[in-house]
Structures are given as C-alpha cells and as structure tokens.
Amino acid sequence: MAIMDIDNETGIAGGFGGIVSGLRIVSRPINVSILSLTGFGGISAGFEPAGEYGGFFAISQELSLELGIPILPWFMPTLYVGYQVVGSIIPGIPFGGFFSYTPVVGIRMQWGDFY
C-alpha cells in the first residue's frame, strides 16, 4: 500500500508491505469474505510531533468485509467496506507520534480460481 498527500503542512507519504489473509464465508453464487491486511513500513508526516523525527517505522491494519461477483472462472470484481488503522512504532512512544484511523470503501478487481 502506498500513501501520498502533497500538502506541504500536513502532507504524509509512505508505504507498507505485508500479509493478506481472510476467510470465505459464502462461495456461490456470490463470494462473501472477511479480510485482514496487516502491513509494516515507513511513513513521514509534515506536522508536529512528526517534524521532530522526520519519519516513523509504522504498522497498518485493515479489516474488511468483501462482496464479490464471479464474472468469469478467473475474474471477480469485489466491493469492500472496512476500517483501517495506521500507527507509528518507532521512534518515540508507539502510536504517539502518528496515529490515523478511517473507514474504507472501494472496489477490487481480483484474478484467481473462483469456481
């Protein structure tokens, strides 16, 4: 996941890599899944107290509920709704230098074996 906000005073930039895991609840005729995305990475924020450090090693966690409609055996557009939390780990007090939480909504295009 990449984050970029170019506002000079409050802008943030960073990226996370990690693990995606989930549980498929219903598989036909639609797919319903619960998904967890956990990532570690770096983030830099242009506001205090982040200016004191310049950047952070951080963790990201998102939980979401997905609803997918398999159009082809190998292609499925998916709507998702969930909640995402991002917080700094080091330097400083964990989650003290940077902490963000927000609901998320979107569309994912998935490829794989859906039948």
Residue 88 has pLDDT above 80, yes or no: yes
pLDDT of residue 97: 82
Average pLDDT, the chain: 87
Q: How many domains does the chain have?
A: 1
Residue 80 has pLDDT above 70, yes or no: yes
Q: What is the pLDDT of residues 22-72, one digit of tens each?
A: 999 998 889 999 999 999 999 887 655 555 667 889 999 999 999 999 999
pLDDT of residue 27: 82
| β 31-45/56-68 pair status | antiparallel
Residue range(s) defining the domain that contains residue 87: 2-111
pLDDT of residue 96: 86
